[in-house]
Chain A
Amino acid sequence: MNTLRELARKLLHDGTVQVVIGYEEGSRGPRPAFVTDPAGAERLIFDARCVQNLAAYLNPRREHLRRLGKPAVVVKGCDARAVAGLIRESQLRREDLVVIAVRCGGVVRDPRLAGELTAETVSDRCSGCEVREPRLYDHLLGELPPAPPATHRREEKLAQLDRMSADERRAFWDGELARCIRCHACRAVCPMCFCVECMADKSQPQWIDSSPTLRGNRAWQTMRVLHQAGRCVDCLECERACPAGIPLGLLGRHVARSVERRFAYRVSDDPAVPAPMGSYRTEDGEEFIQ
C-alpha cells in the first residue's frame, strides 16, 4: 500500500499525470477516489474489498473526468482487460494514461463485506481467474497473494438453466426481469458501454420501451448484453449496481461462453487482439443457417 501511495505521489508531483484514480476508505467500504493533489495520495488503499472496476472512469462518456487531465488508474488484472478493450475499440489511446496494476488474490462480492475471502464472500468472477498477475501495466505493484477460494455458484446456475426447456427459461427470466426498474445503472457502471447515444435512448424510432414494462426490460437486457458480446470483461459491476438484484452476470457469462465456443475468443488483456464481433473468419460455423 505504501508503494502505491509513493508511486501516486511521485506521478502527481512530477506532472506525469494530473489525476490518480484509485480506491479510498468510504463509509460503506472502499470507494473510487480521484486524487489530484500529491498530498492526497495518503488516502489511497488497496485490498480484497476493492471491488469496483475503475476502468469505467476511462470510458470516453465520462467527459468531466477527461477534463481533469491525464489519468493514472489502479487496476486489477480483470479491470486491465477493460482498459485493453477500450484501447482495442479506439475509445482510448494507450499513451493517454498510466496503468498502475496490482497483483490480486480475489475480491469480495460487495465492498461493504469484511475483506476476508471465503467461498461464501468471494466474487463469482474470481474463481479460476487467469489474470491475477496483470499483463497490461506501466507499474506493477504488490506480491502475488494466494489464489482465491473456488466457488461454483454461477456454473451451477448456468448448468441448471441449460437443462431447462425454452419455456422454463423464459419463465425464469420473466420473473427476474419483471423487477427491473430501468434505472440503467447497469449501463452507467459498465466500463464497456461507451456509445455516445445509446439505442435505448433513441425515440425515433423507439426501439426499446423506455418505461419498465416486461417487454421493454427484456429487450433492453437482451440488446445490452448482446452489444457486450466479446467486450464484457465479466467484472460483474452491472450485477453489483443493479438495485433489483437481477443476476445480470449470468447473461454476460452466457454470451462470453457462446463467443468462446464459436469463435475461440476469450476476452483478452492484449489490445492488439481483434474484437470478435468486428472481425470474422471465412470458416466460422454456420450449422444454424439453412
Chain B
Amino acid sequence: MSQPSPQGTPQEKADFEPTIVSFVCNWCTYTGADLAGTSRLQMAPNVRVIRLNCSSRVNPLFIMKAFERGADGVMVSGCHTGDCHYSTGNYYARRRFAIFRDLADFMGLDTNRMTFSWVSASEGHKWQQVVNETSARVKALGPLRPTVEPSQEDGP
C-alpha cells in the first residue's frame, strides 16, 4: 500500500475520464447549475450533482465516502457568504471545510482533488468554469488509487 500512485501510460492518462461528485446547495449552486444547463453551456460531463439543502449540510463524511467509493474528485459548492438561504449556514461550512481540507492534506489526500466554491443562482458561467477547471485538474492527476485492494471491497 505504500507505493506511489500509478502514473499510467500517456495513452491511459489521455483516455482517463474522472468521476467527480459534487455536493451543491439547493438555493444557489443547484439553481446556478440549472441555469448553466438551460443556457446550453458546454461543460465536462464528469460531474455528478448531489443536491442538498445547504453547503453546511455537507458532512466531511460525505467527502470521505465519495473518495472511498471511487470518486476521483469531489466538489462542494454553495451560496456566497452573506447570501445563505439559512443566513449563516455557509459561514459554519467554511470553517469546517477549511479544517477538513488541511487535515486531508496532512493525511496525504491531494487537495487538488477537492474544489470548494461559491456559485450563485445567476452564475451559470461560473459553474461551467468551475466544473471544467476541476475536471481538467483531476484528469491530469489520474485515477485516485483506492485505499483497499478490490478483493477487500465489500458489496455494492
Contacts and interface: CB of A to CB of B under 8 A. Distances in A.
B81 to A, nearest CB: 7
B102 A258 contact: yes
Given A215-B68, A284-B98, A166 B105 contact: yes
B108 A229 contact: no
B77 to A, nearest CB: 9
B86 interface: no
Contacts of B111: 166, 288
Interface residues of B, number: 44
A69 interface: no
B108 A172 contact: yes
B95 A277 contact: yes
A280 B94 contact: yes
Given A175-B2, A214-B147, A226 B60 contact: yes
Interface string B124-149: 00000010010000000000001110
B91 A222 contact: no
Contacts of A284: 91, 94-95, 98
A277 B133 CA distance: 30
B152 interface: yes
A117 interface: no
Contacts, number: 127
A215 B144 CA distance: 13
B108 A207 contact: no
A177 to B, nearest CB: 9
A286 B81 contact: yes
Nearest to B3: A171
Contacts of B95: 262-263, 276-277, 280, 284
A170 B94 contact: no
A207 B61 contact: yes
Nearest to B1: A174
Contacts of B98: 258, 262, 284-286, 288
Interface string A34-59: 00000000000000000000000000
A288 B94 CA distance: 10
A251 B115 CA distance: 23
Interface in B32-57: none
B14 interface: no
Interface string B60-86: 110011001000000000000110000
Overall SS of chain A's interface: helix
Nearest to A161: B106
From A172, A218, A219, A289, name the one whose CB has the most chain B CB atoms within 10 angstroms: A289
A258 B99 contact: yes
A121 to B, nearest CB: 28
A225 interface: yes
A171 B4 CA distance: 8
A105 to B, nearest CB: 32
A170 B107 contact: yes
Contact of B109 (A170, A178, A223, A280): A170
A286 B81 CA distance: 10
A70 to B, nearest CB: 35
In the A-B complex, the 5 residue pairs with the closest CB atoms: A170-B108, A169-B108, A280-B91, A290-B117, A258-B102
23 contacts: A166-B109, A167-B4, A167-B108, A168-B108, A172-B108, A174-B1, A214-B148, A215-B68, A218-B147, A219-B64, A222-B64, A222-B103, A222-B104, A222-B107, A226-B99, A258-B99, A262-B102, A263-B95, A280-B88, A280-B94, A289-B94, A289-B116, A290-B116
